[in-house]
Amino acid sequence: MSGSIPFFIGLENLPNRTMTTFPKALVASAMALPGVPSQAEVLKSMAAGEVPQVNLDQFDMMAYMTIHKQLMEYAGQNLLTTSKASKVVPEKDVQRVLIHSRTPEVGYGQFMLVNGLVNNGHSVCARPEEMLRTMRDDYTGALDTAYGRGFSYARTVDHTKLALDCHGPWDYYLLLAEGGDTYPEPDVEDTKQAKHILAINWDDMKDALLPAPSVATEYFVRELV
């Protein structure tokens, strides 16, 4: 999204069920362009505290720009928060969504989900209610203790798009696990009032096999090998 193609060390070793929508082939083709240092050369430069250099005499700028355009088009269609959130809650109609976590502070998983849901036009509430406060664009508090000090997510969501009425019934009740915490205990009333109950595990491989709540009918996991 910053307008450059990433150099991904170990890309060929990425597990099949990790980063499944990442454009591996496009990135690999850019890394293989003439003049681009090999992974071994990049690692050697990094170990020496040096910046790896591209040989501009050999570099194929036209091919790079072609790959770059394809990569940006792919990212726009597949990697934005809106496209990821639509895999959880379809975009077709406005849905009332409740996200529920043990974590009182929003993390990157919750942020990406809520950002996508809100910008897809859905009505979103949270339990605990204060979870989303740092991402509201009208938040005026300090960010020293916020997760990652709020980098990239703080004050980025239009607060007028967040729901004011946080009472059911719900179209979607999303139970989230993140930050090493287990899933929250599903609320009985919210469970009764929800049309769809989903479990989402935002943790990495260490907690990837965390058992989902039995009330969930669908299960999304960030990483699984």
Mean pLDDT over residues 178-198, rounded?
92
The pLDDT score that the predictor gives to residue 225 is: 58
**Which parts of the chain fold into alpha helices (H)?**
24-31, 39-47, 61-78, 81-85, 108-119, 188-193
Q: Which of 116, 44, 54 is nearest to 86 (CA)?
A: 116
pLDDT tier at 154, thresholds 50, 70, 90 = very high
Q: Mean pLDDT over all residues of the chain?
A: 91
CA–CA distance, 107 with 123 (Å, rounded to integer)? 19
Mean pLDDT over residues 160-183, rounded?
89
Mean pLDDT over residues 141-160, rounded?
90
Domain map of the chain by residue range? Answer: 11-79, 82-221
